Structure 1
């Protein structure tokens, strides 16, 4: 890389960057450098060359540390210390003495991180946040840890304020991603520790979008693990600190489901009403700032909204609406972009649909959903599937169906629970 920068070889720098960061597309490079995708393609393939001045501009836009045209001017030496006098310690004398060693004065102002490093780290974390939604966890976790640790290591070596801010945001966001991973694998204490690290980073960097998502995540953890705290109260805190419509929708969805889970129908309905209000009145329902930067799990798309609200209606006893919304979630996850297919929520939506169908007496469709679950590979079975299947089994004993169907469906549930779940995280 350094040799390519020294030669101002834009094509080689782009090839190195795209090889190191697969998610760094030609379109994204074009946006960063004010070039079209086709121009970036021609440059990368060697079919087009830029002039020296334009090459310098492009590399600068990519964050490359280029040499300055002229060597920096050496500090002007301070005038010699005047001969000793009786008033040697007057202000003038002290000013001259303080200017003798400027390097010592500036020794704490380190500058070891360039924008190219920041761009690479952010692109790596963005790729991991997207992959997290649609790929098994064990292979991703070490890469998230490596990205977080790299950002912290760069921060420790010294960086300018703007770059230091970015490094802390990257570290905090990676820690939040690790918290989600730990919770999905059933390691609540580790999840809470990662969440605490993320919150400390968000506070240190004074970055409200990260703080808001952390609050929503803590409420989500509390919904599954009551010992974490009052999920409804924590969701209210997430609503109060939200910085975008999507964050508010997510927080209201968590609050509604948590309230329904504990039997508080009034609070659940109020949260659902507020959620619909935000979606219908906002002019910007797309991802918030954190979602725009990193994507993946830090977004709350329509499929996830349908899944959360469908679960809520199921717990409120509205099987028809629950069936409609769980079906919408399954359809969106099946037909939507591959990178937005949350395998965990997709499986949970099948359980919700099966529960709604069971209430309506459609045993053939329930059987189809359970067969889908039994085919789910062990590495795609998140921890939350256990309580959801247990709840489905409880509904099975109360459903208005024939005993023969009840026995058959129960056997399918047993087959599912016999298969080992996800691989645990290491210490």
Structure 2
């Protein structure tokens, strides 16, 4: 409480004339939110996210020097992007896209290619989980030009996101082509201002492996490769102290491993893979995790293993009855 009061004083003491110390504080607040987002329940962060966005909007309403205004637009764009992800996690794609559009407007005002590319990645993600797969492809492709200019890790994120959408559409050739483009993109990657915030703002090797597994799990003919990618991601995400650890991606990797094993006829292995997901507390049951669990359910329904897997399906159904969005806010 004392730290919040000190920050509020610093923001108002100079009547909108932002000092270097104040700008540093705002930047640190946004960096902390980006770092914490993949690793902490949304209920612990949402209040700070909303407050930070409101503070940034207020500062932008005041007259600022051009360089300060550019930095404020950049930080507002990142914060709005994090809130787009929050709305997505609460299964509200309309609100998520509204926040993303506001974030993209900030990226335009900041004239920041890395931020433009990152927002396009978020829009591709939101559309993918909402089942708007061609739209997801469009967003991923439209961000590629900005990613190439920024040389950020979005150069990898965008094509591997495109691969997931193509796979969900059943297009094997486009899936493999996008996976190869993502791997090749590492040759040109250099961290930019977005990457340096860390957490949700940067895309690392482990997330790439998880996304590849998530894509190939859609394709029964690729079950062996999907299992390899997913098992590798599960192993890395087992270390909860790792800098890339994210509870959502860890759960998604396990769901992909379960789906691959179902395609390979391994019911016991699928149960082993998915069981830790079903133990997650309701505050961690974000939209992507609920959807991933239901993908396991659907894969089992379409498999010859279905009669033997009814107990696992019932457990998944019980799990999905209390998603994060059902909790009081």
State the TM-score, normalized to the length of structure 2: 0.89
Equivalences for 1:12-411 in 2 at 5 Å?
A: 112-227=17-132, 230-242=135-147, 243-279=150-186, 281-282=187-188, 284=189, 287-292=191-196, 294-317=197-220, 318-335=222-239, 337-338=241-242, 340-401=244-305, 403=307, 405-411=308-314
- Which is worse superposed, 216-225 or 246-255? 216-225
CA contact (8 A) 2:210 2:230 kept: yes
Output the CA distance in 2 between the equivalents of 1:360 and 1:133. 31
CA contact (8 A) 2:153 2:195 kept: no
CA deviations 1:156-203 (Å, max 9, x no partner) are 232221112111111111111100110111111111111111111111
Q: RCO (CA 8 Å, sep 6+): is it higher in 1 or 2?
A: 2
Output the CA distance in 1 between the equivalents of 2:275 and 2:328. 31
Question: Cα gap change, 1:17/1:416 in structure 2, threshold over 3 Å: closer, same or farther?
Answer: closer
Measured after TM superposition, the shift of residue 413 of structure 1 is 2.1
- Is 1:421 the counterpart of 2:319 in the alignment? no
Measured after TM superposition, the shift of residue 228 of structure 1 is 8.7
Moved over 6 A (4+): 16-21
Measured after TM superposition, the shift of residue 308 of structure 1 is 0.5
CA deviations 1:101-151 (Å, max 9, x no partner) are xxxxxxxxx961111110001101111111111000022111011112212
CA deviations 1:182-231 (Å, max 9, x no partner) are 01111111111111111111111211111111112112222122459622
Output the CA distance in 2 between the equivalents of 1:322 and 1:151. 42
Question: Cα gap change, 1:111/1:311 in structure 2, threshold over 3 Å: closer, same or farther?
Answer: closer
Output the CA distance in 1 between the equivalents of 2:116 and 2:306. 51
For 1:25, the equivalent position in structure 2 comes to none
Question: Cα gap change, 1:115/1:228 in structure 2, threshold over 3 Å: closer, same or farther?
Answer: farther
Measured after TM superposition, the shift of residue 233 of structure 1 is 2.0
Output the CA distance in 1 between the equivalents of 2:242 and 2:290. 25
Output the CA distance in 2 between the equivalents of 1:113 and 1:308. 41
For 2:10, the equivalent position in structure 1 comes to none
Name stretches of at least 5 consecutive residues in structure 2 with no aligned partner. 8-12
Task: Tell which structure's C-alpha radius of gyration is larger.
Answer: 1
Q: State how many pairs are aligned.
A: 320
Question: Cα gap change, 1:198/1:136 in structure 2, threshold over 3 Å: closer, same or farther?
Answer: same
CA contact (8 A) 1:307 1:329 kept: yes
Output the CA distance in 1 between the equivalents of 2:43 and 2:320. 21
Output the CA distance in 1 between the equivalents of 2:70 and 2:304. 58
Output the CA distance in 1 between the equivalents of 2:112 and 2:304. 52
Q: What SS does structure 2 have at the residue aligned with 1:168?
A: helix
Q: What SS does structure 1 have at the residue aligned with 2:276?
A: helix
Output the CA distance in 2 between the equivalents of 1:339 and 1:116. 27
State the TM-score, normalized to the length of structure 1: 0.69
Question: Cα gap change, 1:402/1:210 in structure 2, threshold over 3 Å: closer, same or farther?
Answer: closer
CA contact (8 A) 2:114 2:152 kept: no
Output the CA distance in 2 between the equivalents of 1:184 and 1:335. 23
CA contact (8 A) 1:138 1:423 kept: no
Measured after TM superposition, the shift of residue 299 of structure 1 is 0.9
CA contact (8 A) 2:124 2:140 kept: yes
Measured after TM superposition, the shift of residue 330 of structure 1 is 1.5
